[in-house]
Amino acid sequence: MISAPLKRSPIHDFHKSAGAKLADFGGWEMPIEYPQERGGGVLNEHAAVR
């Protein structure tokens, strides 16, 4: 079975150039995490929402 290509948002290139880790989410290629030096990473993201 061949799956359809993942859809991309209009700002996909921005996420990719920012170093985001991308993953399949409901048929879309979505950012799931950014590098620590760009404010991402589990600890930085945790602190940002607390």
13 CB-contact burial (10 Å; exposed 0-12 / middle 13-18 / buried 19+): exposed
Tokens of 12: 């996909």
Q: What is the pLDDT of residue 29?
A: 97
| Strand partners for 44 | none
What CA–CA distance (Å, rounded) separates 41 from 5? 28
Q: What is the pLDDT of residue 7?
A: 97
Phi-psi region of 29 (alpha: psi -120 to 50; beta: other; left: phi over 0): beta
Q: What is the pLDDT of residues 10-35, one digit of tens each?
A: 999 999 999 999 999 999 999 999 98
Catalogue the E-assigned strands of the chain.
21-25, 28-33
